Amino acid sequence: MYEAIPYIEKAMANDSPEMKKYYKLPLARLGNQKYEAELLDGMYKNNFDYNIIGFLRTAKTLEAIIESLKKSGQATIKIPMQTREGRWVEAEVEQDSYNCIYLGQLIYKNLIPELPFKFDGLSLAMCEIPEAEINKVVEWLEQNRESIVLNRDYH
């Protein structure tokens, strides 16, 4: 598999600038720490993508999982809405708390199969998990980070 690295890098060098981002993930998976750091740093600034975290499966991605569960605040999205007068405007709508959303992704994607915590699916979907429970998960992850193996068969 590692024999493919020079070919991927050559294809990346010859491709258009907007397409280069699609080469970074496979190169990061194959061990290019520059692209791995770039992808993970982008997540720290924006939103954590558990599909990328599950694909990379390194010690740094475990750190990203821990940081995502520590992230406080509520997610917001902008959606187009129509006023009574018929004008289109963007409205900002609050979503659930970040750490609850990321805990749900961690559980649903089964990234850490030996996670000793069980949560009700409805509670996860409705983000009704108490902050104290999420903090227990974070504490367990920090204490056991050396022995945790990320699941190769994540969903």
Dihedral through CA 52, CA 143, CA 118, CA 64, nearest 10? Answer: -20
Number of residues written out for the chain? 155
Phi-psi region of 126 (alpha: psi -120 to 50; beta: other; left: phi over 0): alpha
Q: CB 74: neighbour CB atoms within 10 A?
A: 12
pLDDT digits (tens, 9 = 90+) for 11-33: 999 998 888 888 888 888 888 88
- 80 vs 150: CA distance, rounded Å: 38
pLDDT digits (tens, 9 = 90+) for 96-129: 889 999 999 999 998 998 899 989 889 998 989 9
pTM value is: 0.78
Q: Partners of 89 in the beta sheet?
A: 81
Cα maximum dimension of the chain: 61
pLDDT digits (tens, 9 = 90+) for 31-65: 888 888 888 888 888 888 888 888 888 888 899 99
Query: CB of 81 within 8 A of CB of 90?
Result: yes
Q: Find the helix or strand (DSSP H, E) in which 78 lies.
A: strand 74-82
Chain center to CA of 17: 24
Torsion sign over Cα 39, 65, 144, 29: negative
